[in-house]
Structure 1
Amino acid sequence: MVASLPPRASWQGELTPDSRRRMTVFSDLGILLSETQANLAATFSTNKILSPSVVLSRQRAQRGAARGVVANSGCANCCVGEQGLYDAAEMTELAAAHTGVSADDMLVCSTGMIGVELPMALLRQHVGNVSLSGDGGHDFARSIMTTDTRRKDLAVSIDLGGRKVVLGGAAKGVGMIHPNMATMLAFVATDAPVEQSFLQSALSRAVDDSFNMCSVDGDQSTNDTVLVFANGQAGGDEVVAGTPEAEAFEEALTFVCTSLAKEMVRDGEGAKKLIEVTVGEAGTMADARKAAREISTSSLVKAMVHGNDPNWGRIMMALGKSGADMDESKIDIFIDDIQIVHEGKAIPFHMDSVVSSMASSPDVRFRVSLNLGGESATAWGCDLTEEYVTFNSAYST
């Protein structure tokens, strides 16, 4: 693992100082630009109300290739009528003119307050201040933050058929986070040569195992987007499905996406603890995922974690309402590897030990064995705190 994002992608940092945990109409602007045309894979929000920035990017992403993306934080460019589409298109034109590429090769992402038009006068005035550099990944990660308290980025280096390639990612999002997708933006850039159709299928699977398995508050955004750019500048044969190189690449991509997803939940608005829920021995993968997500998103489970209360009945309740196939008499439950339920019934355990374990770590792990099959899935959530309610009760004021 390395500390910076891929050197063959250009990134840009923030325009104004951070104002975390406090929303502003417009804060920062960032540009990610590949030096050459890159194969593109993308996933977008499934919300029926979509930002025009998502609409435009989804249209352009159908080509499966792009040079980059311009992203603003602080304003979602959503629910602003037809003007939103004009402004999204102009954002790509401004970024393209500044970087010397075609506007059609630029995508656009926005995040922030819904119902507010983009401050185009500010964008026109300041886009020229964007300074592209090969080592600007950390600045780019900061530029897309809204109520995040810290940037979320990482990179990995892997051997792919005898050559070193890098995958680097940056993401934002700490609220309105829930499958499918969330109030989140995530960008991954790699210098690996990856065939586009495999890149898209690999991203879809990675998102299912990562971003679609995390939740902060059960609300799904109008703006969420995940983009992967693969420009092939590392050289070598193109990575195609069904090869060892494809397997290695997808493993690395899933690792990057999962790491970013967990960091978003860990930084959830008001959150103090990360909740990791693994449901194993399920009859199907669909059942394992449904059950894990239901537990991780339950308000009662989230409140119980905040209070370090091993009230396992809430886990059982959430499991039962998930719709997954189960037999109550076969269910085992563990909290931080301490078994508290066997065959659907409580077993003797030292209450103080479980409470101490929950209280002493920033991560709380639940493991549920359905004992019906061989499938397993993991979901991530966070505790529900007074700070979350306070913050979101005055979000726009």
Structure 2
Amino acid sequence: MQIRHEGHIATPLGFYTDGLHAGLKRFKKDIGLIYSDVPAQTAAVYTQNYFKGAPITVTQASLATSSLTQALIVNSGNANTCTGKKGIADAYAMRAATAAKLQLPVDYVTVASTGVIGVPLNLPRVLDGIAQLDETQSNGHGFQEAILTTDKAVKSVCVTIELDGQTVTVAGVAKGSGMINPNMATLLGFITTDAAIEGVYLDKLLRQTIERSFNQITIDGDTSTNDMVLVMANGRAGNDILCANHPQILQFKAALMYVCEQLSKKVAADGEGATKLIEVNVTGALQQTDARLIAKKVVGSNLVKAAFFGEDGNWGRIIDAIGYAGVPINPDTVDIAISGVTVLKNSEPVIIDEARDLTPVLKAHDITIAVELHLGNEAGTAWGCDLSYEYVKINAAYRT
């Protein structure tokens, strides 16, 4: 696998992107387009919040007809959620305008939105923005900027692999900084690939990958109304069609997992007000689902997050989160290490010089918590960030 540092969401063959300022936000780009010049197998997962944004309803309708699409239209600055029948009509209008512009069937267009909940969408500005988007551009950075809200930076990944003698590219972009505690999907994540793959298998593979990547991050415990991860595979690379029995399927799985994991870590590191990226690795569990749940409970604990913001290695908060995760453990056999410094062995404290051994690693941006349960052979990982004063400031004044 080769990491393409210069690559972006429009790097895979046959994909084009653009992003511009339509006026939904004061100055920054707020509308973006992904376009494939041929129909692409498409799969998506969505928020489990009962209040779903109107764009999710429209995207589900498009994919209910066929697994093929050619375009995604997305806006930021307004979630178009809890906006009633008008909101649904506006989301369908975004789909229709994009289809007309690109001369596509309406079902070949998917829709996404992110931003403030409960505010009617300024549809004239959106439609004007759609008219200005250029489907012949490979403006990857412009698209990436157009999907951001409180994010401090764009989040993108691009890799290439060899399949059947052909170069295959997998690229992804995500937005998300707050209101992040996904379930089946997260925030907004878009993945493009020029690989040829069966539609049903792509859907299955995306769901498996999401469980070990996007669903393993948490910033503030809130699951957004507009969460969506969508992947488009247009087959332009010319490889043999991927399926469960393809001899090189493990390489494609690894590439997709890498893209999703890297995007997940970038989202966690860019959490609202975050100063540290926290990774929790749980090993020795009876079940993989147990390990993933414990890891997410630890990284999602506000007490753990606050401790690491204060650079306090209070492992008591970690052991507490392990204990209330609701999965089987032996309270006498747990080991904990913080960035390589063992603080608990067989559930008993390890005597260390905190100023010498622990304080230096707590000052780093990246912190790793290792938990060994000594019960089985399963493992799981989760990512999150610390909880700072800035998080409260951002969210106290989110609409102002």
TM-score range, shorter chain: over 0.9
In the other structure, the counterpart of 1:53 is 55
2:344 counterpart of 1:338: no
| TM-score normalized with structure 1 length | 0.96
Confirm or deny: 8 A CA contact 1:331 1:344 kept in the other structure: yes
Choose from 114, 118, 127 the match for 1:124.
Answer: 127
2:230 counterpart of 1:227: yes
Q: Distance in 1 between matches of 2:67 and 2:250?
A: 21
Aligned CA distance change for structure 1 residues 332 and 18 (closer, same or farther; 3 Å)? farther
2:356 counterpart of 1:358: no
Confirm or deny: 8 A CA contact 2:63 2:107 kept in the other structure: no
In the other structure, the counterpart of 2:219 is 216
Q: CA deviation at 1:14?
A: 2.2
Q: Distance in 2 between matches of 1:17 and 1:52?
A: 20
After TM superposition, where is structure 1 displaced by more than 3 Å over at least 4 residues in a row? 16-19, 24-27
Residues 1-397 of structure 1 aligned to structure 2 (within 5 Å): 1-2=3-4, 3-5=6-8, 6-15=12-21, 28-62=30-64, 63-180=66-183, 184-352=187-355, 353-359=357-363, 361-397=364-400
Aligned CA distance change for structure 1 residues 181 and 272 (closer, same or farther; 3 Å)? farther
Confirm or deny: 8 A CA contact 1:38 1:65 kept in the other structure: yes
Confirm or deny: 8 A CA contact 1:10 1:133 kept in the other structure: yes
Confirm or deny: 8 A CA contact 1:163 1:234 kept in the other structure: yes
Q: Distance in 1 between matches of 2:178 and 2:264?
A: 12
Q: CA deviation at 1:198?
A: 1.2
Q: CA deviation at 1:134?
A: 4.8
Q: Which moved more, 1:83-92 or 1:10-19?
A: 10-19
State the secondary structure of the residue aligned to 2:20: coil
State the secondary structure of the residue aligned to 2:304: helix
Q: Distance in 1 between matches of 2:291 and 2:345?
A: 18
Confirm or deny: 8 A CA contact 1:141 1:151 kept in the other structure: yes
Q: Distance in 2 between matches of 1:241 and 1:357?
A: 43
Matching residue's letter, 1:11: T
Q: CA deviation at 1:16?
A: 5.7
Confirm or deny: 8 A CA contact 2:337 2:343 kept in the other structure: yes
Q: Distance in 2 between matches of 1:392 and 1:182?
A: 22
Matching residue's letter, 1:186: G
Q: CA deviation at 1:244?
A: 3.0
Q: Distance in 2 between matches of 1:313 and 1:381?
A: 18
Q: Which moved more, 1:88-97 or 1:108-117?
A: 88-97
Matching residue's letter, 1:14: L
Structure 2: give runs of 5+ residues left out of the alignment. Answer: none
Identity rate, percent: 37
| TM-score normalized with structure 2 length | 0.95
Q: CA deviation at 1:183?
A: 5.8
Matching residue's letter, 1:260: L
State the secondary structure of the residue aligned to 2:248: helix
State the secondary structure of the residue aligned to 1:308: coil
Matching residue's letter, 1:215: T
Q: CA deviation at 1:8?
A: 1.9
Matching residue's letter, 2:247: P
Structure 1: give runs of 5+ residues left out of the alignment. Answer: none
Q: Distance in 1 between matches of 2:222 and 2:62?
A: 27
State the secondary structure of the residue aligned to 1:244: coil
1:227-264, CA deviations, whole angstroms, 9 ceiling, x for partnerless residues?
Answer: 11111011131001133322111110111011111101
Matching residue's letter, 1:9: F
Matching residue's letter, 2:358: V
Q: How many residues are treated as equivalent by the alignment?
A: 392
Q: Distance in 2 between matches of 1:266 and 1:243?
A: 35
Matching residue's letter, 2:303: L
Q: CA RMSD in A?
A: 1.6
1:358-385, CA deviations, whole angstroms, 9 ceiling, x for partnerless residues?
Answer: 11x1111000000000000000010000
State the secondary structure of the residue aligned to 2:107: helix
Q: CA deviation at 1:18?
A: 11
